[in-house]
Copies of this chain bind each other. A is one copy, B any other.
């Protein structure tokens, strides 16, 4: 008699569950912060706690998956040659104001290859755009992609501690300041 208990949808549900967990984690971390109980993430994803642990054996795996999801989306977005570095950064900022906690809590000095790999993908993506835009956009001549990543990381950290409601305005002020440091 399995009444009450969610039906076991079997192996086919695995991919769905993974996606639901990532989405739930993004929302939950955004709202409650990075220290939100994992049980809450599982509940919101409509998934058992055991499944969460099967997909993501620790909190960091889950965080990384959320980040990975963002980077992938960004890569797709940036693939279009019409899109400028400015556009990409705008989107990054926009996503940050929502997701911050995730990126911010990834130790920027880590040597964990899962993290550095993602950071590298982000760096690569920004470097490519930077190269493409260099002559036509208002960026400092010696600006490096590393500096861009650093700027984004600072912004992310700042926003992670702010109240969700105050993030947009704070992001604006901070990005303005950072932009000056990136401009020619």
Residues of A within 8 A of B (CB): 35, 104-110, 140, 147, 150-151, 153-155, 157-158, 160-163, 165-166, 170, 173-174, 177-182
Instruction: Please state if A158 and B35 are interface contacts (CB–CB under 8 Å).
Output: no
Q: A8 → chain B, closest Cβ, in Å?
A: 13
Q: A166 → chain B, closest Cβ, in Å?
A: 3
Q: B147, B154, B179, B182: which contacts A158 (Cβ < 8 A)?
A: B154
Copy number in the complex reads 4
- Can you list 11 A-B contacts with CB-CB less than 8 angstroms, sorted by A residue number? A104-B157, A104-B161, A107-B162, A108-B166, A109-B165, A109-B170, A150-B174, A153-B158, A154-B157, A154-B174, A157-B161
Q: A102 → chain B, closest Cβ, in Å?
A: 12
Instruction: Please state if B104 and A170 are interface contacts (CB–CB under 8 Å).
Output: no
* Alpha-carbon distance between A158 and B103 when the two chains are bound, in angstroms: 11
* Alpha-carbon distance between A182 and B104 when the two chains are bound, in angstroms: 24
Residues of B within 8 A of A158 (CB): 108, 153-154, 157-158
* Alpha-carbon distance between A109 and B181 when the two chains are bound, in angstroms: 24
Q: A29 → chain B, closest Cβ, in Å?
A: 14
Known contacts A178-B177, A181-B177, A181-B181; is-contact A160 B157 (Cβ 8 Å)? yes
